[in-house]
Structure 1
C-alpha cells in the first residue's frame, strides 16, 4: 500500500466513515482537525502544511522528540532478525532480557523484576492482579481492596478505569470492578481513616501517580509520599506508583518518585519508555515480592499478554533510554522545565482569571477560575497560533496543561510561552468584550 497518495478531503471523509477515535467526539462535522504526516523534534506537520509545536509530547510520551531515525533503524534491524516471539512458557529474547536488566538499574529502591505489557492501562491492570495474587499466596485472601486517589488517572481498561479517580471515566460504561476505594488526593489523614474504617486486613495496595498528570498536573506537598510510605509500612499495604506519565525524565528526574525520597513496592510504567515509537509498558516489582512470588507459587502465573516482552518494542526502548542518557535529556527536562515554569509565572499576573501556575520538570499547568470555562478557549486559540496543549475541565477544574518533548530547546520554550501568552490575551479580550 502506498501512503501519501490521497487528498486531504478524501482522507477526512474516510476518517469520518471508518475511524472511531479515542477520547474524541464520536462524530465530527468536518472530520479530524489535523491529519499529521511527519514530525521533527518538538514539531508536528500536517497534510495541509501546518507546523505545530507539540506542547503535549502528543500524549505526554514523545520524550525524545519526533522523527528520530536511529529509532527506526534499530526497529528495522530487530524486525529483520526477530520481530516478535511469544514469551509464554518461559520463552524469551535478548532485547526483553536486557531491557529488564536496564530498568532494574534505573528504577528507585529495589525494584528488580519487570512484567512487560503493551501500555499504561495494561500495566495498571497487571499491578492490581499481581498484588491480589500475591496476597492469596501469602495466605491473606481478604486483602483485595485497592485504594486510589481523587483526580487520579490510571487508564481505561477494566481495572484501570475502576482505579481512576476521575468519576466521568468510571461513569462511561457504569460497570466498574469491585474493591476499589477513593481517598482525597493529598490527605494522609483521610488515607489512614479509610484504612482503619475498612480494616487493614482487607487492603491489598495503595496506588498513586507521583504527579497527577491527566487529572490536572497536581503536585503533592513535600512530605506527602513519606507519610504515605509510613502508613503503608505500618499496615503492611503494598505501595504502587503509577509512573506512566512521570517516568523516563518527564519531571527532571528519571522517575517522579525520586523527588520525594520514597521507593514503592511496585511501579507501573509505559509512554516514555519508548517515547511512543512502539507500544510498550510494564510493572516492576521489588526484590522481596519477586522472591516471595517464586517461593510461594506452585503453578503457572496465569497472567500474560500476547505482546509481553515484544522483541522489537524492547529493542526500541533500549535505544530510547540510550538517547535519553547520552543527550542528557533528564537534565534538560529540569532546566527547560524551570524556564517554562518561570515564563508562565511571568505572564500569570497579566490575567486575573489565572489562579495558579504549577510545574515540575517538563510538566506544567495553568489553573483558571472564571464564570466561563477558560481552558477550552485558550486551547482553541493556542491551536490556531500553532501550539498543541490540553485542557482539563473534569470535576470542576479549569486547567491548561503542557508536557513538551524533553529535547525542547531554550528558544522553543520561549516560543511556547509566547504563543500561550498570545492565546491568553485573545481570550481575555473576548471575555472583556462580552462583559
Structure 2
C-alpha cells in the first residue's frame, strides 16, 4: 500500500512531512482489524463503524492508516490546544515517569501541587482550590455534589443544547439527544432554554431581546421550580458540541445576579472552552463574571494524559474545612497527568499560545468565515471566538432548515465531510454544523489552508440548497 495524497494539496510549504513506510501501513491494517474485533466504541452502533486509524501526529497534522496527511481542524475532540506531540510536554511526561509514576491522592506530590498553583493563578476571582478528577464528566459530577452539599438543596438547572459529560449526573444535565436514552427523570436535573438568537425559542429579533427574554424565562423556571430547592445552575460558558453559541454578556451577568439573589451556586463548565480555546484562559472571562465552581479538562493537558478538575471558590471550600468531603478518585492529581498540565500551561504562557488563538480568530478565521457566508447559500450563520467557531449549514437560508436534522446526520452532510477529508482536512461535525476548532497553536498559513479546503468542500453543501 502506498501513501495517498489529497486531491488538492493546500498544505503550507512548511507543513511537517513524515515517511510512512510499508511496515507502518501494515501495522495500521492490523490495528484496524483488532479494533473491529475487540474495541467497543462510545456513542456508536458497533457493527456500523468504520473508524479512521491514526498512525502519527505532529503540530496541526495527523496521518491516517493509508499514509494520508490531514490538517486537524477538530483538535481531536477539541482538546489538542497546544497541537500534537509538543516536545516540552512529551519530555515532561517522560521525566515524570522516570522520577515518580504514581502516588496515592492522599499524599502530596510536587507535580500536583504545581499544577494546582498554575491553574488557580489563571482562574478568575477566588477560585483558588483545585480538586482533580480524571476528566470533564466527573469534574461536573463533583461540582454538582459540592454545590448540593454546600446548599443543602438537590435540583440543578442546565440549558437545552448543552453537553456536560457521559456519567450519570452529567448526562442527565446534558441538553442534547445523548441524554434521552439515559434520562429517567430522577436525577434532579431541570432544563431551560438558553439564548440562541439564530434559532430563538423566544421569537427575538435582536441580541438584546434574546438576552432579556432568556433571562425572564430562566427566572420564571427558578420561581416555578422553587428557588429554595435549587442547588446550582450549570452553564457551559460558551456551549461547545451543542453549537458554540456565544451568550450575550448581559445574559451571563444576569444569571450571576439571579444565583446571588436566591443562594444558588453558579457552575461554569469550561471543559471544552477553557485553556485558551476562545482566546482567553477561560471563556467565562469574556463576560466579567466569576462562578462559584468552574470545571475543566481537555486543554489543561492538551489531552496528552487524561485530567480534569474543579476550581472551588472560598465560600464553598470553607464548607469542607472541618467537614469531610465525601468523594474522591484513585487517580486524583495523578503525577503523570499533573506533570503534563504543568508543562502545557508553561508552554502556553511562554509561547503566547492563548494570544495566538485570539489573533487567529480575530484576523483569520472570523473574517474568512464571514466572507464565505456571503458566497455560500448553505451557510446560515457563523459564530465563535478564538479557535472555537461553528458553521451552521442549512438547506434553505430563508426557513433555516438545517442540512441535517437535530440529533442526526444526512447524506448531504456526509458528502461535505467526505469532501473535506478527500481534500486533506479532518473536520469536527455535529448534526448540521461544522466546527472550526484547530489547535490554539495553528499558524496563519495553516488556518488559511484549512479554510481554503472548507471553502471548496462547501460547494457540495451549496448543491443541496433549495432553489
Q: TM-score, normalised by structure 1?
A: 0.91
Give the Cα separation in 1 of the matches to 2:439 and 2:127: 26
Contact 1:144–1:204 (Cα < 8 Å) also in 2: yes
Distance 1:173 1:199 in 2: 25
Q: Given that residues 172 and 182 in structure 2 are in contact (C-alpha distance below 8 angstroms), is that contact kept between their aligned partners in structure 1?
A: no
Maintained 8 Å contact 2:172/2:179: yes
> Is 2:356 aligned against 1:332?
yes
Q: Decide which of 91, 94, 114 is 1:76's aligned counterpart.
A: 94
Q: CA deviation at 1:176?
A: 5.5
Contact 1:158 1:176 in 2 (8 A): no
2:190 corresponds to which residue? 181
Residues 64-96 of structure 1 show CA distances to partners (whole Å, capped at 9, x for unaligned) of 0002122121111111111111113xx221111
- How far apart in 1 are the matches of 2:331 and 2:122? 23
The alignment partner of 1:349 has SS state of: helix
Structure 1 gap segments, 5+ residues each: 136-140
Of 389, 407, 410, the match for 2:427: 389
- 1:427 deviation in Å? 3.3
1:200-349 matches, cutoff 5 A: 200-295=227-322, 297=323, 300-338=324-362, 339-349=364-374
| Mapped pair 1:366 → 2:386 | no
Partner residue, 1:130: 146
Correspondence for 1:159: 169
RMSD in angstroms over aligned alpha carbons?
Answer: 1.7
- 2:439 is paired with a residue whose SS is coil
Contact 2:140 2:269 in 1 (8 A): yes
Per-residue CA deviation, residues 41-78 of structure 1 (Å, 9 max, x unaligned), is 10001231110111011111000000212212111111
Q: Which range moves more in the overlay, 286-295 or 254-263?
A: 286-295
Question: Are the counterparts in 1 of residues 29 and 65 from structure 2 also a CA contact under 8 Å?
Answer: no
Deviation at 1:25, TM superposition (A): 3.5
- Indicate conservation of the 8 Å contact 2:58/2:83, yes or no: yes
CA distance in 2, matches of 1:290, 1:8: 48
Choose which of 63, 76, 95 in structure 2 pairs with 1:45. 63
SS at match of 1:172: helix
- The whole-number CA distance in structure 2 between the counterparts of 1:427 and 1:195 is 41
Counterpart Cα distance in 2 of 1:162 and 1:203: 15
Distance 2:193 2:461 in 1: 32
- 1:109 aligns with 125
Cα distance between partner residues in 2 of 1:129 and 1:20: 30
Matched residue, 1:138? none
Does the 8 A contact of 2:172 with 2:183 survive in 1? no
- Mark the CA change 1:105 to 1:174 in structure 2 (over 3 Å): closer, same or farther: closer
1:119 and 1:361 mapped to 2: Cα distance? 23
Structure 1 residue 5 displacement after superposition: 8.5
Residues 279 and 387, structure 2, Cα contact 8 Å, conserved in 1: yes
How many residue pairs match? The answer is: 413
Shift of 1:360: 0.7
Task: Name the residue aligned to 1:420.
Answer: 454
Distance in 2, matches of 1:176 and 1:83, equals 42
- Using the alignment, how far apart are the partners of 1:333 and 1:14 within structure 2? 38
Measure, in 2, the Cα distance between the counterparts of 1:376 and 1:220: 29
Measure, in 1, the Cα distance between the counterparts of 2:289 and 2:65.
Answer: 46
Query: Is the contact made by 1:358 and 1:366 (CA closer than 8 Å) also made in structure 2?
Result: yes
Q: Distance in 2 between matches of 1:109 and 1:126?
A: 20
Q: 1:95 aligns with which of 95, 111, 120?
A: 111
Instruction: Specify the SS of the correspondent of 2:310.
Output: strand
Contact residue 293 and residue 310 of structure 2 kept, 8 A: yes
- Which secondary structure state, in structure 2, belongs to the residue aligned with residue 27 of structure 1? helix
The C-alpha deviation readout for 1:8-32, integer Å capped at 9, x for no partner, is 3332221111111223331236x42
- Aligned partner of residue 246 in structure 1, secondary structure: coil
